[in-house]
Amino acid sequence: MYILHISAECFPIAKVGGLADVVGALPKYQEASGITSKVIMPFYEKDFVKKHDPIGFTKGNLLLGLEEYYYEVLEYDKKTLGFELFLVKIFGLTDKENVYGYPYDVERFTAFQKVVADFILNQEVKPEIIHCHDHHSSLIPFFTGHCYKYNALKDIPTILTIHNAQYQGWFGYEKMHYLPEFPADKKGVLDWYGQINPLATGIKSAWKVTTVSPNYLGELQEKANGLEALLKQENNKSLGILNGIDDKLWDPKKDKYLKSNFDKKSIKKRQANKDWICKEFNLNPDLPLISFIGRFVHEKGSDLLAETINYIFNELNLKTNVLILGSGDGQTERSLNDIKAQFEGKYNNYIGYNEELAHIVYGGSDFLLMPSRVEPCGLNQMYAMRYGAIPIVSNVGGLKDTVIDFDEGEQGTGIVCYDISAHEIGFAIKRAVVVYKNKTFFDTKKTQIMNIDSGWKKSAAEYIKMYQSLTLKS
């Protein structure tokens, strides 16, 4: 079987969040189980392309409205990443550094998808499954299903995996001429509330829709940034498959970023990572270290962090350290910087993206805080548990699928916060401080959570089962 994954992100080429981790890991595990799994994504001016030379490329011209663009599809063999990779370099559109955030993102990702569809059309051996990820590739099931040019691809099953339904790629009808020609009666497939909505189009057109955790699928039918009714309507072809983690890359025993490697037998060596963090950020190594890693967006509850820090130190008088690693919303960044002086010695932050530091924080923190309002799957809690940091999480999405509150009994794996407010998060942190003081319980739980198998094996098998159900039918 040959699966082609289409995505805007893939680790280590370009990463903004969990999408990259998933698309960088799943194909490796699929290859290991004997199926051919390739990735095609936009080119970005990042380290990866400076350090790796392609083994070849194909080229062509693309028409987007009235503009013509020259493009190259660069090819990297399996030796580089464990799966074949193609980077779509459209001169003037995708030869940029950042993944998102350009005023012409609609043009970038629409052009990218047209090149991908042409690429598949021209491939001698075509994929048996086209697997799209999020809205940056979700027009492709529409192209292959309804556009004249791609009629030869209409029998290839398409899958759309929703990693995050908040972002849908909306654009207006004045840009409809960017799309390949299709019969007039198919215009409605593009539409959701008077706009062209790529994510909605993908949900309608793909043969199967998956979400990155079972619980998120149910939640989306209630809250999906306007797509609730559509997801209810398409329930029969939808399925939730929990993400795994790349347990070879995220292995505290071998992690090249850690200051001190460890496993559950040598868990004492973990302390050196905490000591390093405390020294670097002027924190107290004798107190618990509670960390947050993530994008500063409303979904992650990051807007509540400064208020929570104020609350736990000024009202609850908790004896703990708090470290925040992240970036995003300007107001959140400012509020987190503003309180630094006030809580010197017990609170600090790193505003920015730092992959290396993130690994050390998972490997040195006692607790990892995730007060998310929306969490499609969440990888951080799984990395934290593999690295022996106890998760403090809200009760949403994939967090609900992966963390059991200590109050539930022996199988408990963390602290669950049932309401998202500074007060409730503060209360959850208070529970963490109590857990930290109970050394026997704390040490037992740390090793227990490191034992959890969150690898891709089980989920990769579920994907294969789904692929098979589609290829057998077709």
Q: How far is the CB of 140 from ligand ADP (least distance, A)?
A: 21
DSSP labels, 292-356: EEEEESGGGTGGGHHHHHHIIIIIS----EEEEEEEE-HHHHHHHHHTTTTTTTTEEEEES--HH
- Convert residues 246-285 into a mask of x (bound to ligand ADP by CB under 6 A) and - (unbound): ----------------------------------------
The yes or no reply on residue 380 touching ligand ADP (CB under 6 A) is yes
DSSP 235: G
Cα–Cα nearest to 400, from 439, 424, 374: 374
Q: In sequence order, what are the beta bridge partners of 348?
A: 323
Taking contact as CB under 6 A, which single stretch among the options 14-22, 123-131, 175-183, 278-286 is the one that binds ligand ADP? 14-22
Q: Are 377 and 351 in contact (CB under 8 A)?
A: no
SS3 state of residue 220: helix
The rounded distance, in Å, linking the Cα atoms of 398 and 377 is 4
The rounded distance, in Å, linking the Cα atoms of 438 and 148 is 66
Residue 108 or 163 with smaller CB distance to ligand ADP: 163
| Given 42, 378, 391, 455, the residue binding ligand ADP (CB under 6 A) | 378
The yes or no reply on residue 162 touching ligand ADP (CB under 6 A) is no
Cα–Cα nearest to 174, from 86, 95, 129, 110: 110
Report the amino acid identity of residue 462.
Answer: E
The rounded distance, in Å, linking the Cα atoms of 350 and 355 is 12
Number of residues that bind ligand ADP (CB under 6 A): 18
Residue 17 or 198 with smaller CB distance to ligand ADP: 17
C-alpha count within 13 angstroms, C-beta hemisphere, residue 245: 21
| Given 36, 166, 354, 421, the residue binding ligand ADP (CB under 6 A) | 354
Q: Are 396 and 374 in contact (CB under 8 A)?
A: yes
Q: How far is the CB of 260 from ligand ADP (least distance, A)?
A: 19
Start-to-end CA span in the chain (Å): 13
Q: Which residue is nearest to ligand ADP (CB)?
A: 18
Residue 216 or 427 with smaller CB distance to ligand ADP: 216
Q: Are 213 and 377 in contact (CB under 8 A)?
A: yes
Taking contact as CB under 6 A, which single stretch among the options 12-20, 24-32, 120-128, 147-155 is the one that binds ligand ADP? 12-20
What is the 3-state secondary structure of 138-193? Answer: CCHHHHHHHCHHHHHHCCCCEEEEECCCCCCCCECHHHHHHCCCCCHHHHHHHEEC
Please state, in angstroms and as integers, the Cα–Cα distance from residue 289 to each residue in 258, 388, 446, following that order.
16, 12, 14
Residue 47 or 355 with smaller CB distance to ligand ADP: 355
Q: How far is the CB of 139 from ligand ADP (least distance, A)?
A: 21
Residue 18 or 145 with smaller CB distance to ligand ADP: 18
| Given 2, 353, 441, 442, the residue binding ligand ADP (CB under 6 A) | 353
* Sites for ligand ADP among residues 15-34 (CB under 6 A): 17-19, 21
Residue 16 or 272 with smaller CB distance to ligand ADP: 16
| Given 155, 315, 338, 355, the residue binding ligand ADP (CB under 6 A) | 355
Q: How far is the CB of 403 from ligand ADP (least distance, A)?
A: 13
Residue 40 or 389 with smaller CB distance to ligand ADP: 389
Residue 19 or 39 with smaller CB distance to ligand ADP: 19
The yes or no reply on residue 358 touching ligand ADP (CB under 6 A) is yes
Q: Are 241 and 159 in contact (CB under 8 A)?
A: no
The rounded distance, in Å, linking the Cα atoms of 16 and 167 is 14
Q: How far is the CB of 326 from ligand ADP (least distance, A)?
A: 4
Taking contact as CB under 6 A, which single stretch among the options 225-233, 268-276, 340-348, 350-358 is the one that binds ligand ADP? 350-358
The yes or no reply on residue 219 touching ligand ADP (CB under 6 A) is no
* Sites for ligand ADP among residues 284-343 (CB under 6 A): 293-295, 325-327
Does a cis peptide bond (omega within 30 degrees of 0) precede residue 54? no
The yes or no reply on residue 166 touching ligand ADP (CB under 6 A) is no
Q: What is the contact surface with ligand ADP in residues (CB under 6 A)?
A: 17-19, 21, 293-295, 325-327, 353-355, 358, 377-380
